Structure 1
Amino acid sequence: MASPIVARSLDEIRFWSRIMKEHALFLSLGFTYEQRQLIAEAQQFIALFERIEEKLSRFSPNSELGQVQAFNNEVYQAAVAIWHYKRKVLGLELRCEIRSNNFPLLIDHVSREAAYFANRLKELNEGRLVPEANDIIQENVFFLKIMADHAKFIGHLLDPSERKLVEQAREFSHDFDQLVFQAVDLDSMRPQSETVPILDQFLDQNRVSVASLRDFKRTARELIEACRIKSNIHPLLADHTFREAERFLEIIDMFEATLSAPKMQRPFDS
């Protein structure tokens, strides 16, 4: 019988390894010609995650748990390595030792995603398939901040003459900032299992907002690919942010399924 930990591990690696590879590409495109060493390091990470993707293709949901756990450890090391690289680049930017076309917030953003990926692999190897009730709020804080960042990046990378789209991006940025603050407030209240309806409402509200942003990103991606709007947004970056919104919606569905499970089956009930 296939192990849920194996299936979840392979899914996380499939999604996030591609994201890490693309992060390295986007950073390399943002560096200036003089920053050849940083570009070379980024290219090494592209090659590293391509090798991981190639190795991933040899696994299946029926693979042995021990083999997948060993693979998780290997990918964990790669995720930690690219996290260190991203934080190094951020430090260089903040100390004004380099000047590139990579926003400091973007570098921080991609480093947070690397840390999230590494942490998920660690949790899976510890046997934690789904978050505990309180962790659901923190995971939503993480993804809501990611969505807010995306809206800000889109607004900054669109040509200023695209006034309507720029304004839409700003509105999404504001809305998701408010959702982040609301999630932080809810986290401080620490709802326990007996207050599940509060979590249900929280997830429902997030789903509506993320679906709206996802649809905006889909439209922007299609317009960019068709060269129908003016921007500095790489078509792959447009698709990248769309996929992350889709991922958040999948995670919300997973959380709701966990909360609706019979109490005896909930892994977070004591």
Structure 2
Amino acid sequence: MPEVFVVRSLDEIRFWSRIMKEHSLFLKLGFRCEDTQLINEANYYYKLFEGIEQRAHAFTVNTDAQTIRQFNVEVSTAASYIWAFKRKLLGLILTCQLPGANNFPLLVDHTSREANYFRNRLIELNEGKLEPVQDAIIDENVFFLRIMADHAKFISHLLDPSERKLVQQANDFSHDFDQLLFQARDLDSMRPQSQTGPILTQFLDQNRVSVKSLRDFKKAAKDLIDACKIKSIIHPLLADHVFREAERFLAIIDMFEATLTGKPAVFAEQHH
């Protein structure tokens, strides 16, 4: 259905182009003053995805599907380029060519995984080769559970060490999501026998509970950071960034559950 294709494509681009834009800013903030070439590259990608985000909001559900298909090609190419930039940066860090810079290797890898996910989503939409829902449930959860586990680790390491209670809470979430990720990978290796309705429904229910708890923790941390009530080196935009990704994961879980229970699966546009 052309309208569904347009809605889903624009939703992906509006959400993830903003994420890519913000990644460019966060990476730039972690560079040293002398890393002018990397700073310039980050600025380039910030402006590139800012422009993509603006154009995506200018389209509507009534936009011609072929126009959106061409836009998807353009954006997936941009996602490929920022992925390559992030992998280059990861290589520089791991070979100790950026001593004193402040981007964790795991954070750079994390952002590259999201760029790859974004690119693949657009390619799948254009080719009309979306996975069967049983496969998508496991694959999307494996991807997002790792993203959530990473977020907890980043929060723990960017809080001031004196914020002992919050650091412990973040570490607890890291452990919780590591365990959920191991369970998801176990389901993955048991495919297709593991893909029964009851097992997948329980899988989604269990993940939802933990994602909601983490989402609420991120929201509380964001509010405390905005009010300057806690000690950290977390950029306020980063706090909002990880909160929005938890909200995204919850929306995907809800969509999958609606599909499993036979309710109409409506991929509604989110606030970006």
Q: Could you tell which deviates more after superposition, 145-154 or 94-103?
A: 94-103
Structure 1 residues 193, 8: CA separation in 2 closer, same or farther (over 3 Å shift)?
farther
Structure 1 residues 107, 193: CA separation in 2 closer, same or farther (over 3 Å shift)?
closer
What code does the residue aligned with 2:21 have?
Answer: K
Q: Could you tell which deviates more after superposition, 101-110 or 124-133?
A: 124-133
What code does the residue aligned with 1:39 have?
Answer: I
Q: How many correspondences in the alignment?
A: 263
Kindly state the Cα deviation for residue 254 of structure 1 after the two structures are TM-superposed. Answer: 1.1
Write the deviation string for residues 63-86 of structure 1: whole angstroms up to 9, x where unpaired.
111110000001001100000000
What code does the residue aligned with 2:151 have?
Answer: H
Q: Which residue of 2 aligns with 1:44?
A: 44
Structure 1 residues 129, 59: CA separation in 2 closer, same or farther (over 3 Å shift)?
farther
Q: Which residue of 2 aligns with 1:172?
A: 173
Corresponding position: 1:86 with 2:49: no
Q: Which residue of 2 aligns with 1:151?
A: 152
Structure 1 residues 45, 116: CA separation in 2 closer, same or farther (over 3 Å shift)?
same
Name the SS of the counterpart of 1:96 in structure 2: coil
CA–CA separation in structure 1 for the residues paired with 2:136 and 2:193: 11
Q: Which residue of 1 aligns with 2:246?
A: 245
Structure 1 residues 131, 74: CA separation in 2 closer, same or farther (over 3 Å shift)?
farther
Name the SS of the counterpart of 1:160 in structure 2: coil
Kindly state the Cα deviation for residue 195 of structure 1 after the two structures are TM-superposed. Answer: 1.2
Q: Which residue of 2 aligns with 1:29?
A: 29
Normalising by structure 2, report the TM-score. 0.93
Counterparts of 1:130-141 in structure 2, within 5 Å, are: 131-141=132-142
Is the CA contact 1:191–1:198 (under 8 Å) kept in the aligned structure 2? no
CA–CA separation in structure 1 for the residues paired with 2:178 and 2:144: 11
Kindly state the Cα deviation for residue 133 of structure 1 after the two structures are TM-superposed. Answer: 1.1
Structure 1 residues 46, 194: CA separation in 2 closer, same or farther (over 3 Å shift)?
closer
Corresponding position: 1:211 with 2:212: yes
CA–CA separation in structure 2 for the residues paired with 1:191 and 1:146: 24
Instruction: Detail structure 1 runs of 4+ shifted over 6 Å in the superposition.
Output: none
CA–CA separation in structure 1 for the residues paired with 2:248 and 2:34: 36
Structure 1 residues 58, 129: CA separation in 2 closer, same or farther (over 3 Å shift)?
farther
Is the CA contact 1:148–1:177 (under 8 Å) kept in the aligned structure 2? yes
Is the CA contact 2:79–2:116 (under 8 Å) kept in the aligned structure 1? yes
What code does the residue aligned with 1:19 have?
Answer: I
What code does the residue aligned with 1:166 have?
Answer: V
Q: Which residue of 1 aligns with 2:270?
A: none
CA–CA separation in structure 2 for the residues paired with 1:138 and 1:228: 38
What code does the residue aligned with 2:209 have?
Answer: V
Counterparts of 1:63-212 in structure 2, within 5 Å, are: 63-99=63-99, 100-128=101-129, 131-191=132-192, 195-212=196-213
What code does the residue aligned with 2:40 have?
Answer: A
Kindly state the Cα deviation for residue 132 of structure 1 after the two structures are TM-superposed. Answer: 3.3
What code does the residue aligned with 2:202 have?
Answer: Q
Q: Which runs of 5+ in 1 are unaligned?
A: 266-270
What code does the residue aligned with 1:201 have?
Answer: Q
Is the CA contact 1:133–1:192 (under 8 Å) kept in the aligned structure 2? no
Q: Which residue of 1 aligns with 2:260?
A: 259
Structure 1 residues 130, 260: CA separation in 2 closer, same or farther (over 3 Å shift)?
farther
Normalising by structure 1, report the TM-score. 0.94
Is the CA contact 1:4–1:129 (under 8 Å) kept in the aligned structure 2? no
Q: Which residue of 2 aligns with 1:20?
A: 20
Kindly state the Cα deviation for residue 109 of structure 1 after the two structures are TM-superposed. Answer: 0.3
What is the CA RMSD across the aligned residues, in angstroms?
A: 1.6
CA–CA separation in structure 2 for the residues paired with 1:58 and 1:259: 34
Kindly state the Cα deviation for residue 135 of structure 1 after the two structures are TM-superposed. Answer: 2.9
Q: Which residue of 2 aligns with 1:268?
A: none
Q: Which runs of 5+ in 2 are unaligned?
A: 266-272
Kindly state the Cα deviation for residue 57 of structure 1 after the two structures are TM-superposed. Answer: 2.6
Q: Identity rate of aligned residues, in percent?
A: 68
